Chains A and B, each alone.
Chain A
Amino acid sequence: MERGVGFHRYRRHAKSSSASTMVVLPNDSNSNTPSTNNDNINANTCNGDQQAPQPCMVREQDQYMPIANVIRIMRRILPSHAKISDDAKETIQECVSEYISFITGEANERCQREQRKTVTAEDVLWAMGKLGFDDYIEPLTAYLNRYREAENERNTSRGDQLLFLKRGMEINHHGPIGMPPPYGSGYPMGHFSGMLDSAAAMGGGGYYRDMAGGGASSTAQNALAGFDPFVQFK
């Protein structure tokens, strides 16, 4: 099946990659059965000699987004009765990779002009604007800001959790010094066993922040139900 220039371009990339997985395409490109061209399944059915040139068509999967994910996004747009041919799925898969390369190339050129080494999110957004994807910038900026807020809250409450644990451990060693602040079991914490390991590894906890307002407790979503390190003081 002819795939044009794009396929060859990716083959050239593929030769230089060290860990690539080969997936064999079925020759029938008109079937509507969902493709399962994932990395870890559908092992190379052109069996035997991996070094010898294969007569069947292969497609490097690690150059593309996983096809199942691509199809899932497509189905959000298409009506439920719509069908997608295999070659349409693969074409869109290739287009996504080309899109990433295209935008990254422009963003990277800007970094080089400004003599910066790291391609940032801002560079990516700038490149999108320059290359005509203005409509994406607003939703992407909102998305990025939500992500940054979530990261800040996560880092903040983790810092408090580490300090909280450190204080708890100190109290255990030296006996009760005074009444601990009323954190109680409502205090939101992540998976506790994991916390201890990282707290021990990191030594000193994070910075201290006044919890009185309960600002952080409203943000972390998973409270550790029933956990109360001060149970011995009850």
Chain B
Amino acid sequence: MRQAGVYSRMLSGGRTGPHLLPLARIKKIMKKSGDNVKMISGEAPIVFSKACELFIEELTQRSWMVAMQGKRRTLHKDDVATAIVATDIFDFLVDLVSSGNSINPLDFSPVEMKTVLES
């Protein structure tokens, strides 16, 4: 506990703040990503803790833009799904959000989806 106190004080001094996401949980998810993940350096979960913040922020921002287009103030799963389909780097998430309810990416060309988001 003492070490954690000194450490987070250090980071607060650097204005990065203590970690928002639990490192042990990140490490667990990393290990489960494949059978052959053997060892993980101590710094890798730390990079992920920040990366996941950036990821959540980006995904939330894009999803919110979709909700605003629909003149809604509540973020729904469909908004997240639409944002994912419209963003190239989120292609790996398409299967995760596809269900009977969300927009079928095959109904739209990538250009059309981009236009929906940017208009």
Contact = CB atoms under 8 A, between A and B. Distances in A.
A88 B106 CA distance: 22
Given A76-B57, A219-B10, 7 more contacts: A3-B99, A85-B74, A121-B46, A136-B51, A147-B43, A154-B3, A220-B6
B59 A95 contact: yes
Contact of A132 (B33, B37, B88, B99): B88
Interface residues of A, number: 79
Nearest to A65: B21
Interface string A95-114: 11111111111011000100
Contacts of B81: 91
Interface of A: 2-6, 13, 17, 32, 62-66, 69-70, 72-74, 76-78, 81-85, 87-88, 90-92, 94-105, 107-108, 112, 117-121, 123-125, 128, 131-133, 136, 139-140, 143-144, 146-151, 153-154, 190-191, 194-195, 219-222
Given A88-B77, A121-B43, A108 B92 contact: no
B95 A6 contact: yes
B57 to A, nearest CB: 5
Contact of A88 (B34, B48, B80): B80
Contact of B44 (A63, A119, A154): A119
Q: Is the interface of B mostly helix, strand, loop or mixed?
A: helix
A63 B32 CA distance: 9
Nearest to B62: A77
Interface of B: 1-3, 5-7, 9-14, 16, 20-22, 25-26, 28-30, 32-34, 36-41, 43-44, 46-48, 50-57, 59-61, 63-64, 67, 73-77, 79-81, 84, 88-89, 92-93, 95-101
Nearest to B42: A121
Given A62-B28, A69-B21, A105 B6 contact: no
B88 to A, nearest CB: 7
B7 to A, nearest CB: 6
A105 B41 contact: no
Contacts of B12: 221
B90 to A, nearest CB: 8
